[in-house]
Structures are given as structure tokens and as C-alpha cells.
């Protein structure tokens, strides 16, 4: 995984956690759901990039 992609995915995960926490505190269900969705998206990005890394290693 490129360092840039890993940083972007990690930043999105952190953003999602913050948004989820704000949603919990304020009772805003939309913010809560959006925060969780961002975390899932970030996790998916990590999985895709890990697969790419493993394929690259296998081909080398």
C-alpha cells in the first residue's frame, strides 16, 4: 500500500470516529451513521491496498 493511500484511509477513519462521537454526544443520528460509514470505507480501503501489496509481493 502506498504511504499516501494508507495516510488517507487512516485520516478518514479518524474523521469517522470523531463524527460518530459527535453524533453520540449530540444525539444526531445522521452524523452517527455518517461517521460509522466513513470508518467502514476506510477499513475497506485498507483491505484493498493490503491485497494489492500481497499480489505485488507474490509476483516479485
Q: How confident is the model at residue 2 (pLDDT cuts 50, 70, 90)?
A: confident
Cα 26 from Cα 18, distance rounded (Å): 12
Q: For residue 22, what is its C-alpha cell?
A: 459527535
Would the pLDDT of 1 be above 60?
no
Q: How confident is the model at residue 60 (pLDDT cuts 50, 70, 90)?
A: confident
Q: For residue 1, what is its C-alpha cell?
A: 500500500
Question: What is the total residue count of the chain?
Answer: 60
- pLDDT, residue 14, reads 97
- pLDDT, residue 17, reads 97
Parse the chain into domains and list their residue ranges. 3-59
pLDDT digits (tens, 9 = 90+) for 8-56: 999 999 999 999 999 999 999 999 999 999 999 999 999 998 998 899 9
Q: For residue 57, what is its C-alpha cell?
A: 509481493
Amino acid at each position: 500500500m502506498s504511504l499516501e493511500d494508507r495516510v488517507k484511509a487512516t485520516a478518514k477513519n479518524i474523521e469517522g470516529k470523531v463524527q460518530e462521537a459527535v453524533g453520540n454526544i449530540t444525539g444526531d443520528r445522521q452524523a452517527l451513521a455518517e461517521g460509522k460509514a466513513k470508518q467502514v470505507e476506510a477499513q475497506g480501503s485498507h483491505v484493498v491496498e493490503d491485497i494489492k501489496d500481497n499480489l505485488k509481493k507474490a509476483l516479485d
